Structure 1
């Protein structure tokens, strides 16, 4: 499209150079996948699946001292509004279909954090006939937070690890499990 003859329009090389400088100063270039990953890491909406004493620590993380909200983490009661499931506590054989159903109801993309020894490996109850030795037998786990029970700072660290994992996956880099 030719724009010659329009009063006030300058097609000189100087104009092109100044325009390019202005664009470099004021326009942010990125890949769409990285932009989506950035926005996802800033607004986690976890579904709390608290089953035991780890749930108390998870609630403490949402309290005023640690304030999950300042990191963009807002607990949701419905799996259809959540993108992160935090499983905190002992998962039994009877509870596993409920856990899987809630996971399946979450929209994509979705992630899972296993919080505490009971959720990661069965904990002190792993020898019981009804206890599953880890929630990863039911749903894929992205981050494991160890401890019995883990402290609120440990859960905050687990959320930060999940953020890093999402960013690295958006860049196409390999991410180790855990």
Structure 2
């Protein structure tokens, strides 16, 4: 008895090229770690065995912007660090996405002074904001899942 007889009629599977490409993109995101403060510890713990970010196709955090398509900004960004952040973002290949992790990256947090950028969206375009001070690893995973959903619905023409 062959495999065909056991399975029966498999039918035809159809999808669009756009959906297939976006599915592949959303399940193979390569994040670049950009940990600046206490949020970085929570970001690193998502890679550990308890939360296992590898389930989402993110085997390890990259240290090079040329190998990454997701920048997770975790922590407060100072005015001196802002040009470095922008330079790393510009070196990332398209398509690229940004997650602002924590209150400091999202809106400056409790640091309302001249030295801290009041939201990383002043420097780079942010796709998903993850709230908390610091946010738990589950919250970052939820933000990543929201980003995956956003990627699945992006038109391919945007990147041409």
**By the TM > 0.5 criterion, same fold?**
yes
* 1:60-80 per-position Cα deviation (integer Å, ceiling 9, x unaligned): 111010011121113111100
2:81 pairs with one of 65, 74, 95: 95
User: Which residue in the other structure is 1:53 paired with?
Assistant: 38
Moved over 3 A (4+): none
* 1:98-129 per-position Cα deviation (integer Å, ceiling 9, x unaligned): 0000000000000000000000000011x221
Runs of 5+ unmatched residues, structure 1: 1-21, 173-178
The normalised TM-score by structure 2 is 0.88
Which deviates the most, 70-79 or 142-151?
70-79
Find the aligned partners of 1:130 and 1:51 in 2 and give their Cα distance: 14
Runs of 5+ unmatched residues, structure 2: 1-8
User: Which residue in the other structure is 2:103 paired with?
Assistant: 117
* Alignment coverage as a number of residue pairs: 148
2:128 corresponds to 1:143:
yes
Q: Which has the larger radius of gyration?
A: 1
User: If each structure's helix is expressed as a fraction of its own residues, which one has the higher value?
Assistant: 1
RMSD over equivalenced CA pairs, Å: 1.6
Pairwise mapping of residues 1-178 of structure 1 onto structure 2 (< 5 A)? Answer: 25=11, 27-74=12-59, 75-125=61-111, 127-170=112-155
The normalised TM-score by structure 1 is 0.79
